[in-house]
């Protein structure tokens, strides 16, 4: 696979997301490669409806739509929390699991209540992220990252976003929301997917 020439520099990529947490996390890493990352809100980019049933399918859908609209290298991110005792839910519906408007405090409470209703003592869960890359020449790639941990209750910490406050990665005593951005990035599903993208696209 031919990667993107890191010597080009001063590129502007698009992340097809309005999630400021995701944008900030990816922007910090890609800036080391002279890539300026723009979020959907920066260029008034509408996100397509997520109609696919897999993380990879939705990530590719968003990346391709952004690339076709802007003519720039584009990233699509689809990620979510999959809880074993809930049959993998909320999964690809993580952002919308508590209905509209999106409210992760309500969504975290719903996860907790669903686990109680399940009667299971298993609190194993995993955060999954797929980053999809779409280039103007038609090339697409996907990069998968995953981290396994446990659901904790009540929520812990004030940092992070999404379900971070109820997810404690294996080997840790803190939730993602109790970690600094650098600590979370070293362990996170998105960080692992991004590491794979960086290795493939910039390690030439």
Tokens of 7: 């010597």
Q: Please, what is the angle between helix 20-30 and helix 189-202, to 10°? A: 40
Reported for 68-73, long-range contacts at CB under 8 A and 24+ positions apart, including other chains, are 69/45, 70/14, 70/43, 70/45, 71/136, 72/12, 72/13, 72/14, 72/136, 73/4, 73/11, 73/13, 73/14, 73/133, 73/134, 73/135, 73/136
Residue 78 annotated to the active site:
yes
Residues 6+ apart with CB under 8 A from 64: 74, 76, 132, 134, 140
Catalytic residue among 2, 42, 77, 78: 78
Residues annotated as catalytic (active site), given as ranges: 78
């Amino acid at each position: 696979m031919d990667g993107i020439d890191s010597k080009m520099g001063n590129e502007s990529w698009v992340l097809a997301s309005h999630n400021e947490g995701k944008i900030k996390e990816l922007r910090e890493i890609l800036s080391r490669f002279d890539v300026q990352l723009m979020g959907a809100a920066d260029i008034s980019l509408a996100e397509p409806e997520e109609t696919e049933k897999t993380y990879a399918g939705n990530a590719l859908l968003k990346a391709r739509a952004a690339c076709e609209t802007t003519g720039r290298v584009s990233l699509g991110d689809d990620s979510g929390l999959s809880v074993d005792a809930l049959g993998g839910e909320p999964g690809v519906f993580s952002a919308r699991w508590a209905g509209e408007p999106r409210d992760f405090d309500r969504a975290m409470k719903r996860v907790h209540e669903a686990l109680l209703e399940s009667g299971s003592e298993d609190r194993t869960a995993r955060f999954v992220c797929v980053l999809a890359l779409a280039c103007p020449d038609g090339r697409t790639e996907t990069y998968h990252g995953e981290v396994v941990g446990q659901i904790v209750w009540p929520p812990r910490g004030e940092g992070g976003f999404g379900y971070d406050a109820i997810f404690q990665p294996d080997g840790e005593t803190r939730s993602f929301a109790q970690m600094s951005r650098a600590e979370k990035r070293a362990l996170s599903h998105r960080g692992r997917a991004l590491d794979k993208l960086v290795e493939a696209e910039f390690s030439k």
